[in-house]
């Protein structure tokens, strides 16, 4: 199966998992020149930027281990762009979460709230 289709499937699994826990979808696959945000959701009055990571093997540290400082900066820059284009969101607190799907362990879903902090 091609990587794009796998990514879309993983994002769908993550979106449904988060919705089952009360989060509401604002947008998905937000793209700008700084990068892409997989999911943007609301958790009450908090804007939640969600990075979805999929790993079929744990040989390289698993899905959670794949988000380094460079990727965090890209996500933060794209989130700042989102706030500039969606002014209502700019007045709300923001959190960066990661939903990791490790297929090597039978599609285990791990949701890490507040996975990293980025300056606004």
Q: Render 30-76 in DSSP notation, one character per residue.
A: EEETTEEEEEEEEETTEEEEEEEEEES--TTSTTGGG--HHHHHHHH
Give the start-to-end residue ranges of the domains of the chain. Answer: 3-116
Over residues 101-114, the pLDDT tens digits come to 877 656 789 999 99
Over residues 2-57, the pLDDT tens digits come to 888 888 898 999 999 999 999 999 999 999 999 999 999 999 999 999 999 987 66
CA distance 74 to 117: 13
The pTM of this model reads 0.88
Fold classification of 3-116 (topology level): Trna Endonuclease; Chain: A, domain 1 (3.40.1350)
């Amino acid at each position: 199966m091609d990587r794009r289709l796998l990514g879309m499937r993983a994002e769908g699994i993550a979106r449904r998992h988060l919705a089952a826990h009360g989060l509401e979808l604002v947008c998905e696959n937000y793209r700008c020149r700084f990068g892409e945000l997989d999911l943007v959701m609301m958790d009450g009055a908090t804007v939640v930027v969600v990075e979805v990571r999929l790993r079929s093997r744990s040989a390289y540290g698993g899905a959670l281990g794949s988000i380094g400082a460079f990727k965090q900066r890209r996500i933060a820059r794209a989130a700042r762009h989102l706030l500039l284009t969606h002014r209502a969101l700019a007045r709300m607190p923001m959190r960066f979460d990661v939903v990791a799907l490790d297929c090597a362990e039978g599609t285990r879903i791990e949701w890490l709230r507040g996975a990293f902090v980025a300056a606004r």
